[in-house]
Amino acid sequence: MISNVKYYILFLIFIPLTSFSKGFRYDTLANDLKCLTFHQNSQKNLIQKKVDFNDSTSRPDNQQVFISEQGNFWIHYDISGLHAVNLYDANLNGIPDYIDSVAYYAEYVYQKEVLEMGFLSPLGDSLLGGSDAYDIYIFDIGDSEIEPDPNEPEGWGGTYGFTVSETEIKPSRKYQRYTSFMVLDNNYSETDSVRVPGGKHYIAYKTFGLEGAKITLAHEFQHAIQFRYGLDYTYSSGFAEMCSVMFENLIFPESEDYLQYVRSLFKFPELYNFSMPMPENGYRYGIFTTMLQQKYGIDVIKKMWELTAQGITTYKCIDSALHLEGSSLDEEWIDFLHWIYYSGERTIPGKYFIDASKFPTFSFFLKLNYSEPSVNFSSNLDPYQIQFDEVVFPNKFPHSNDTLVLLATNLNLNQIVNGIYSKSSFSIIIKTIYDGAYIRLFPDSEIPYYYGLLKGSEGINVIRIEKPGIETYKKENAYPNPLHIALDENLFVPAPGNAGLGSKITFQLLDENAVSVYNSISDVDIHNSNRIIKLPVSELKSARIKTGVYIYKVDSDDETIFGKIAIINP
């Protein structure tokens, strides 16, 4: 039984759930639900019920304890029962290798975050864990309940770890400071699963074994540090998670666990708002603090927590720390839109995010094709909400289409500092008739287009990215040739000469007996200024295309072309 001690929990409960205004939708791109984050402990918390708490100390109970080499950490663990770790001991020192490794990486994280970067140390807890070292408890917390209660998502599984605040540090401040301890999973197993109502299972973790323990140590130790500065519980849960997610990859650059949140944000940006201080938003905007760290170094993040310790509210802390760098939250947010736009397929090597090429391509909310006499649309944005739209303009053959990309947001620091969340509207109209208040798009294009923005408030900012069309050319042969199924990503096949961009083309792949082994209908696209049909190699792989020489046939409404392609599929 858990005693009635006031806790604030920082959970990494990675459950695939995205909240909608009408019920819930499971977002399988990222383990999403953060139960009991910054809330008092609950007797109904099924994850905590799996952990044995001592009635007298209100601490978890384990069978064994191991002290790290520098003595800064006590690692509590079990050698038998549900929570037992793997007992494999390669160096025969009497300690399971998993525990040896947790102790080693705990010291490594402490060295990085405290001794090198200069954050406050969370060590020292008045001997509550048996010493003044920082206590880490190891339990099987990743797997789901056999029969999860649909009304108690804490039993659905997926926990990486959690940090529990414990004793208030005196003297009291506006934002209370606490000692803490943390709980990690006992193996980060590939077989641990999230079970959601209805019985469907999802893999609990994106990172397994010791690698899972490493990133969780970096993440949770940052939470322990945050408790020492003090937390603005009304507004800081999202920012706290932004920082902790950032530290996973900062301390262990090879880690890619955070990419699950990037994938989710880039696909569903309208669901996750930076200005709403919720943990699931914080996980996704960890890349915002990553951007700040890349631009200004870790000291700007540390300054934000130092300002929090002075009793300044979260979003004001972010803005004030950036002012010391000659910038502001609004300026950085506008820059952030460029950073996330130029990722995935739009990555510019050596610029923006280090891992930008590993990101997906950010989704457009609206994709419109211009038609006379005009195109227009309206939208409403919460403070710091993001909306990317695309308008494509027809061009004269053989030029590719002109494309306008609009990156829209609503800058309103005063609202989010004061906890006010009201939408601002804007309308965009584009036409070919000149209006003195409008802006000419694509000045070198043969067709004149004019752009107008009507804003409901001064906070609305819309960045225009104009991508003029280019002259395109007919390609004579397919490439690469030969095509290596195991190495190449796409096959590019020439489009019929008069087929315009976006035209529907039928493609067939014929074997030596003129039997069709693969067919598809695709749009004419551009690659290296060539008008081509792009065929993902993954589709050819799924069709089990064997090694050999094939004939391809490409049909448009008024032309058919043939060619040869060699395919190697080991």
User: What's the pLDDT tens digit per position in 242-276?
Assistant: 999 999 999 999 999 999 999 999 999 999 999 99
Instruction: Please name the helix (run of DSSP H) or strand (run of DSSP E) that holds residue 454, with its range, or none.
Output: strand 449-455
Q: How confident is the model at residue 36 (pLDDT cuts 50, 70, 90)?
A: very low
Check: CB of residue 58 under 8 Å from CB of residue 69. Answer: no
- Residue 4 in any domain: the answer is no
Let me know whether 212 and 338 are in one domain: yes
pLDDT given at position 154: 53
The β-bridge relationship of strands 473-474 and 530-536 is: parallel
For 479, 536, 545, 568, the CA distances from 542, given in Å and listed in that order, are 20, 10, 8, 14
Let me know whether 477 and 348 are in one domain: no
Alpha-helical regions (H) of 410-544 = 413-417, 537-542
Check: CB of residue 180 under 8 Å from CB of residue 142. Answer: no
Let me know whether 353 and 370 are in one domain: no
Give CA torsion, residues 465, 471, 475, 481, to 10 deg. Answer: -30
For residues 279 and 404, the model is more confident at 404
Among 467, 492, 509, residue at a domain's last position: 467
Residues 6+ apart with CB under 8 A from 16: 26, 27, 28, 29, 30, 31, 32, 33, 194, 196, 202
Q: Would you say residue 19 has pLDDT above 50?
A: no
Q: Average the pLDDT over 273-295 and give the result.
A: 94
Let me know whether 262 and 336 are in one domain: yes
- Residue 3 in any domain: the answer is no
Tell me the pTM: 0.85
Let me know whether 486 and 454 are in one domain: no
Spatial separation of the C-alpha atoms in residues 282 and 238, rounded to whole Å: 4
Residues 6+ apart with CB under 8 A from 173: 230, 309, 311
Let me know whether 396 and 514 are in one domain: no
Q: For the chain, give the percent of residues with pLDDT over 90.
A: 69
Q: How confident is the model at residue 6 (pLDDT cuts 50, 70, 90)?
A: very low
For residues 328 and 161, the model is more confident at 328
Spatial separation of the C-alpha atoms in residues 404 and 465, rounded to whole Å: 6
- Residue 2 in any domain: the answer is no
Residue 500 sits in which domain range?
A: 473-568
Rounded to the nearest integer, the mean pLDDT of the chain is 87
Give the type of residue at 48: Q
Q: Average the pLDDT over 299-327 and give the result.
A: 97
- Residue 310 in any domain: the answer is yes
Give the type of residue at 56: S
Q: Mind listing the pLDDT tens digit for each residue in 133-157?
A: 999 999 988 876 655 565 555 556 6
* Count of structural domains, the chain: 3
Let me know whether 462 and 478 are in one domain: no
Let me know whether 514 and 425 are in one domain: no
Q: Mind listing the pLDDT tens digit for each residue in 413-443?
A: 999 998 888 899 999 999 999 888 899 999 9
DSSP reduced 3-state for 93: coil
Among 439, 467, 495, residue at a domain's last position: 467
- Give the residue carrying structure tokens 């489009």: 495
- Give the residue carrying structure tokens 């050596």: 350
Q: Would you say residue 14 has pLDDT above 70?
A: no
Among 420, 450, 467, residue at a domain's last position: 467
Check: CB of residue 360 under 8 Å from CB of residue 368. Answer: no
Q: How confident is the model at residue 335 (pLDDT cuts 50, 70, 90)?
A: very high
